[in-house]
Amino acid sequence: MKVCANDLEYAPVPGGRTDVSTGVPLLTSKLAVPVLPDSLVTRRRLVDLLDAAVRTPLTVLSAPAGWGKTAALNAWVRAGGPIQPVTWLTMEPEDEGDRFWSYLHFALHTAGVTKGEDQQALPAPGFVPHNVYLAQLANALAGLSAPTAVVLDDFHRVRDAGVAGGLEFLLRHTAGRLRLVIATRVDPALPLHRWRLSGELTEVGARELGFTVPEAAELLARHGVELPDSHLATLHGRTEGWPAGLRLAALAMRGHPDPPRFVDLFSGAQPDVAEYLTGEVLADLPAADRYALMSTSVLERVCGGLMDAMSGRTDGAHLLAELEHRNAFTVALPGQYPWYRYHRLFGELLRAELTRQAPERVPDLHRTAASWYATNGLAGDALRHALAARDRRYATALLADHWPALALCRGSGALRTLVPPPDAAARADPELALAYAADRLDLGDLGAAERYLRLAEQNRSGLAADHRERFAVMVAAFRLAKAQLAGDSGEVLSTAAGLADPASASPELAGDDAGLAAVAYTALGAAHLNEGDLTAAGDALRAGLTAAEQAALPCAQLLCAGRLAVVLALRGALRAADEAARAALALPPCTGRCRLVGSAYAYLALALVRYEWDRLDDAARYLELAAGTGDPVTEPILGVGIAAVRAGVLRARGELAAGYETLVAARRDLRADAPRYLRDWLTASEADLRACYGDTETARDLLIPLIEDRGRTPPVVAVALARAYLRDDDPGAAARVLPAWAEDRSDAPALPLRLQAGLLAAVTSRLAGDDHRASAQLERVLQLAEPEGFRRLFTQGGLRVRELLVDHLDSGTAYWSMVTEALKATTAPPVEGNLPSPALVEPLSERELTVLRYLQGALSNLEIASDLSLSVNTVKTHVRSIYRKLHAAHRREAVLKARQLRLL
């Protein structure tokens, strides 16, 4: 039977087992879910991830070769997810044009998607114009009663742009019934940006597909291999979770007599790994691109300009971007655009190939890299490559010219390759020994750094007399850097104070060298901040900022500016902190780790400010930007500050368990000898959370020992303890532990703590019946809070603070608009009919019931007192007790709850 459409005749081809355009039979094997080895690990987290992913129209698994895309999809299909049936099609290079659509047509029909009364006459591609076929297929899919999933594996093999265009058409015109899942090494030529913006795209990359350490252990176990935890972590680090690399290692270790020894020697030059990477990655690249990759393999990170210098090309930036886009084991460094790095095993393969093909080029490549880095202000990288090239003269010249930056700025955070051990010249040349010490400090190897520092000091007598003073300055700067890396605040404070104050320094260190002052004051400010001395920290950081500007040291400028912003925020100078943090982020960026650390401080300051301004969403956003860059040893305040503010945000949102977990993690990361005030901060934050749970007993147990074992109670502890006492309805105990707060004294707590203490003092006075004192204390708190815009302590203060504010409006205040805005921002009382059924824990007295009846009317407290022949203060006391027992914030809410309890 012939069917006509658009004046054309075609024969219905339900199965479409032959490509009409070529007559070549279609292979049914391409429609089968591949059978994978039994030794592969089924990872439930990926199955769950894909179950969630197919709720969006488009899912793209994009990752390099061997990253387990097919295995993940295989496990997901076999697990039987939420959308059935699943149509599978494995792509090959010749699947273009009508041949692709014939395969898709055949796959859909075989899976039963297009079968049925209305779909049996759907023509195969080639019998009708392409646009007609797409429209008919879209209508058929849109008419399905439930969504259907189509998996296109190895989609990177398709080069026909028309295929991507047709798929995008189907996605837009199938009424959400088509769920397309694409596995590819290269992002498909679909308008991903549009689907991403609309929230209809799920992207799964190498990070999600990579093996975790426990998954790697399971994979090895399936191959009969067991490793000690340390070697398992080493293997996972070297493969970066790459599934194919782990599987190749597992296969090689299966018959190895000493698996841990195998891990120690495992690299990208391993024959099986090298063969795989060569065949899957390098073989597809032009010779010029392979040359560029080998030339830059001596680097830990690479950008376009550096690739051009190393390889003689002019399009390095384009090549790197293309390699990253193609998932060719080239990874963009987060936060360091336009820098990239090679996957560790891939880089090792490239270096092995370079050493095999042209070993004589290696020293010259290191010299070229050192020169480029030095020209571009990257002293640490320049020194490292000068040492790797064994260019003694250039290395010591770099040290002499850039020692302040080398002492201040740590490495970029990229993978470091160890510079070869020095030759005997370093033992006789103190400047070369100091250069090696600087490089080992950048690597974080404090033991080796100390050995080279001693060697440098022992041999400095061999230097010319006019070089010794400057050399002593450099040694002192690197000793200071070593103390910072070790987290030795005492050593930092003593050493930095001597270097910053020429009068107290030794004669050979005296002078007004701006570079030395910048190094010293930057370290001094950081140490004072970590110890909690905000005044001294602020003074040192301002001095360091001035010296850094004079010495043109961008890394010191950013570190001082970022930390100064945090100091200002902690002291309560919120507006100045906000301005300082923004100024720090606007500074010319340093390309080393200083940029990450300095920026993290600036973002933490912005988060602290937004938290106090009660802009919690903004605070959370800045916390995310600040997180993940601080070293808990050298920058403990970053970790503690981020955790404390995040816990506060979570507490305000009612997510108490998440807040507690945040604090536990921060305490775990903190060193045992970390400054005490940081531990106090975390403990006080935990006590506040526990009090919010109602666990005031544990809150007190956490805090009271911190008071008993020292002479002066830390204000942060005293405030948290007072808050716990108030939650236990013990205002007397709360008042006794509160620190002095009202006077502007030099030894007064920081302003945020003064405000919290003052507000709690006002609450205790009100509960004690001293309304006049409570009003005066609250007015003083408002006076202190208003200039900086403090808001959170009022809006998140709870019912008693709200009552206090309501009464204060009646009493009269110079800050009427501020109080009114705070009341508006607190949780509005629920309307009648939506209140939960309350339970009256403590009964009302007869007199309170009498006063409660009066509250239904419009009489004032004074008029009620006159009618009952009571004093107005007695009536106010009864009213407060009624509010407390009914958990009400004001008269109307008390009446509504009393009616629900049938008290009225």
pLDDT in tens, 239-249: 999 999 999 99
> Would you call 224 helix, strand, or coil by DSSP?
coil
Residue 417: closest CA among 349, 480, 344, 483: 344
pLDDT over 70, % of the chain: 90
Confidence band of 848 (pLDDT split at 50, 70, 90): confident
Judged by average pLDDT, the poorest of 66-70, 103-107, 842-846 is 842-846
Angle between helices 593-612 and 616-626 (to 10 degrees): 160
pLDDT at residue 8 is higher than 80? no
Please check whether residue 411 is in contact with residue 596, taking contact to mean a CB–CB distance below 8 angstroms.
no
Confidence band of 895 (pLDDT split at 50, 70, 90): confident
486: exposed, middle or buried (C-beta count within 10 Å: 0-12, 13-18, 19+)? Answer: middle
Across 672-692, average pLDDT: 88
Tokens 């250039």 correspond to 394
Please check whether residue 630 is in contact with residue 678, taking contact to mean a CB–CB distance below 8 angstroms.
no
The torsion angle over the Cα atoms of residues 570, 573, 575 and 580, rounded to 10 degrees, is: -70
Q: Distance between CA atoms of 567 and 530, rounded to whole angstroms?
A: 10
- What confidence score (pLDDT) does residue 504 get? 43
- What confidence score (pLDDT) does residue 16 get? 45
Residue 141: closest CA among 119, 166, 110, 167: 119
pLDDT at residue 470 is higher than 60? yes
- What confidence score (pLDDT) does residue 501 get? 66
Both tokens of residue 767? 């509960």
Q: Distance between CA atoms of 340 and 334, rounded to whole angstroms?
A: 9
- What confidence score (pLDDT) does residue 336 get? 74
- Angle at alpha carbon of residue 548, lines to 543 and 552, rounded to 5°: 160
pLDDT at residue 14 is higher than 50? no
pLDDT at residue 509 is higher than 70? no
Rg of the chain over all Cα atoms, to the nearest angstrom:
35
Q: How far is CA 888 from CA 798, 800, 802, 839, in A?
A: 11, 10, 10, 12
- What confidence score (pLDDT) does residue 837 get? 41
Please check whether residue 765 is in contact with residue 777, taking contact to mean a CB–CB distance below 8 angstroms.
yes
Across 401-421, average pLDDT: 72
Strands (E), 173-244: 178-184, 201-204
pLDDT at residue 663 is higher than 80? yes
Residues 6+ apart with CB under 8 A from 452: 426, 433, 434, 436, 437, 440
Across 245-267, average pLDDT: 92
pLDDT at residue 390 is higher than 70? yes
Judged by average pLDDT, the poorest of 271-280, 566-575, 632-641 is 632-641
Residue 521: closest CA among 506, 550, 549, 499: 499
Confidence band of 167 (pLDDT split at 50, 70, 90): very high
CATH code linked to domain 846-900: 1.10.10.10
The arrangement of secondary structure in 13-209, i.e. its CATH architecture, is: 3-Layer(aba) Sandwich (3.40)
Backbone dihedral angles phi then psi of residue 89, each to the nearest 5 degrees: -145, 120
Please check whether residue 338 is in contact with residue 318, taking contact to mean a CB–CB distance below 8 angstroms.
no
Three-state SS sequence of 338-366: CCEEECHHHHHHHHHHHHHHCHHHHHHHH
- What confidence score (pLDDT) does residue 856 get? 75
306: left (phi over 0), alpha (psi -120 to 50) or beta: alpha
Please check whether residue 173 is in contact with residue 142, taking contact to mean a CB–CB distance below 8 angstroms.
yes
Backbone dihedral angles phi then psi of residue 145, each to the nearest 5 degrees: -75, -20
Please check whether residue 634 is in contact with residue 487, taking contact to mean a CB–CB distance below 8 angstroms.
yes
Residue 68: closest CA among 80, 78, 76: 76
Q: How far is CA 179 from CA 52, 74, 166, 176, 208, in A?
A: 12, 16, 14, 7, 20
Q: Distance between CA atoms of 641 and 176, rounded to whole angstroms?
A: 45
pLDDT at residue 104 is higher than 50? yes
Residue 755: closest CA among 772, 770, 736, 777: 777
Determine the residue type at 760. L
- Which residues are paired to 89 by β-bridges? 152
605: exposed, middle or buried (C-beta count within 10 Å: 0-12, 13-18, 19+)? Answer: buried
- Angle at alpha carbon of residue 674, lines to 673 and 680, rounded to 5°: 120
Across 205-218, average pLDDT: 94
Residue 618: closest CA among 605, 635, 599, 600: 605
Provide the mean pLDDT of the chain.
86
Q: Distance between CA atoms of 783 and 188, rounded to whole angstroms?
A: 60
Residue 301 has what DSSP assignment? Answer: S
Q: Distance between CA atoms of 162 and 464, rounded to whole angstroms?
A: 74
Please check whether residue 158 is in contact with residue 167, taking contact to mean a CB–CB distance below 8 angstroms.
no
pLDDT in tens, 744-793: 888 889 999 999 999 999 999 998 889 899 999 999 999 999 999 999 99
Residues 6+ apart with CB under 8 A from 663: 643, 644, 647, 682, 685, 686, 689
Confidence band of 631 (pLDDT split at 50, 70, 90): low
Q: Distance between CA atoms of 35 and 74, rounded to whole angstroms?
A: 8
Residues 6+ apart with CB under 8 A from 879: 851, 855, 861, 891
Which sign does the torsion angle of CA 225, 226, 228, 230 carry? positive
- What confidence score (pLDDT) does residue 9 get? 36
pLDDT in tens, 725-737: 988 888 899 999 9
Tokens 């074992």 correspond to 709
Element (DSSP H or E) covering residue 884 = helix 872-886
Across 257-280, average pLDDT: 93
Element (DSSP H or E) covering residue 401 = helix 392-408
Most distant pair of Cα atoms in the chain: their distance: 107
Q: How far is CA 633 from CA 544, 590, 639, 674, in A?
A: 22, 22, 10, 8
Both tokens of residue 504? 């107290």
pLDDT at residue 644 is higher than 90? yes
Both tokens of residue 897? 């709850």
253: left (phi over 0), alpha (psi -120 to 50) or beta: alpha
Classify each residue of 447-475 as buried b or exposed e, where b means 16 or more C-beta atoms within 10 Å of its C-beta.
ebbbebbebbbebbeebeeeeeebbbbbb
Task: Say how many Å lie between the first and final Cα of the chain, rounded.
Answer: 85
Going from N- to C-terminal start, the domains of the chain cover 13-209, 213-266, 846-900
Across 523-540, average pLDDT: 92
Residues 6+ apart with CB under 8 A from 381: 300, 369, 370, 373, 411, 412
Domains 13-209 and 846-900 share a fold: no
- What confidence score (pLDDT) does residue 860 get? 74
Tokens 């209140």 correspond to 835
Residue 404: closest CA among 269, 239, 594: 594
Q: Which residue has the higher pLDDT, 291 or 652?
A: 291
Residues 6+ apart with CB under 8 A from 46: 72, 75, 76, 208, 209
- Angle at alpha carbon of residue 900, lines to 895 and 861, rounded to 5°: 15
Backbone dihedral angles phi then psi of residue 61, each to the nearest 5 degrees: -100, 105
pLDDT at residue 127 is higher than 90? no
- What confidence score (pLDDT) does residue 533 get? 92
- What confidence score (pLDDT) does residue 20 get? 55
Residues 6+ apart with CB under 8 A from 248: 270, 272, 273, 276
Confidence band of 827 (pLDDT split at 50, 70, 90): low
pLDDT at residue 392 is higher than 50? yes
pLDDT at residue 608 is higher than 80? yes
pLDDT in tens, 305-326: 999 999 999 999 999 999 999 8
Helices then strands, each counted (H, E), the chain: 45, 9
Q: Distance between CA atoms of 157 and 817, rounded to whole angstroms?
A: 66
pLDDT at residue 511 is higher than 80? no
